Amino acid sequence: MAKIAPSILAADFAKLGSEVADICKGGCDFIHVDVMDGAFVPNISFGSAVMKSLNGYATVPYDVHLMIENPDQYLEEFVTDSTAYITVHYEACPHICRTLSHIKEHGVKAGVSINPGTPVSCLEAVLPFVDMVLVMSVNPGFGGQKFIPETAKKVSQLNKLRKDNGYNFEIEVDGGVSDKNSGLLISCGADILVAGSAVFKHEDRAEAIMRIKKVDA
């Protein structure tokens, strides 16, 4: 069954602790932490202090998505006992293999993300070493954007490469994911679905999570 990682970018920041407790109770698998620096993407979100302030509320691990330039400088800040994944952008890392190694050296799983304009072929050399590939299905920077349907093809391509070569990485999709497209993404091979608005803007988060996961109530 696909796992779900709600993005707290869509939560009410004034009550982030209880928002996080609510989605954990609702059955999410990870907390997706969207970090934006106003340089790699045209928006600023929050840093590691906000994530760490949630330690008493989150009962599932963090899935950290760094949409920042020079991520090597900040990796360590996001390493906690509850950090499962740290994902960096292929487009922001001139030495991507080194950056992925740095993440792994901290005992955290390493992910690489590609923007909608970056083809899967760019990842050929790193696929044997990554724990996760995050396919952006919107241009990163903002929550609540429209899903770009062409990105589903990349999920199928990655799934085929994984099967053909015996690779072990997980495939995550992020941006505009809802119960309208989650079935397609799961059938293409997605393992983890990120959903911000579709979870947090729904009054019953448990129901929203079940619908995205395609679990019958």
Annotated binding residues for substrate: 7, 65, 141-144, 174-176, 196-197
Q: Name the residue nearer to ligand DX5 (CB basis): 6 or 189.
A: 6
Question: Cα(8)–Cα(63) distance, rounded to whole angstroms?
Answer: 11
Near Zn ion in 46-65, by CB under 5 A: 65
181 binds ligand DX5 (CB under 6 A): no
Question: Cα(73)–Cα(71) distance, rounded to whole angstroms?
Answer: 5
Sign for the pseudo-dihedral over CA of 202, 141, 167, 81:
negative
**What are the φ and ψ backbone dihedral angles of 74, each rounded to 5 degrees?**
-120, -5
Contact track, ligand DX5, 161-180, x by CB under 6 A? -------------xxxx---
**Residue 208: exposure state from Cβ atoms within 10 A (0-12, 13-18, ≥19):** buried
**Binding partner of residue 6 among Zn ion, ligand DX5, none, CB under 5 to 8 Å per kind?**
none
**Which residue in 37, 131, 174, 191 is the catalytic one?**
174
Near ligand DX5 in 193-212, by CB under 6 A: 194-198
Tokens representing residue 111 in the block:
């992910």
Bridge partners (DSSP) of residue 195 are 6
Tokens representing residue 5 in the block:
């990682």
Binding-site members for a divalent metal cation are 32, 34, 65, 174
How far from 28 is each of 45, 140, 200, CA to CA, in Å? 22, 22, 12
Near ligand DX5 in 90-109, by CB under 6 A: none
In this chain, which residue has its C-beta nearest to ligand DX5?
Answer: 196
Residues of this chain that bind ligand DX5 (CB under 6 A): 7, 9-10, 32, 34, 65, 67, 138, 140-145, 174-177, 194-198
Residues of this chain that bind Zn ion (CB under 5 A): 34, 65, 174
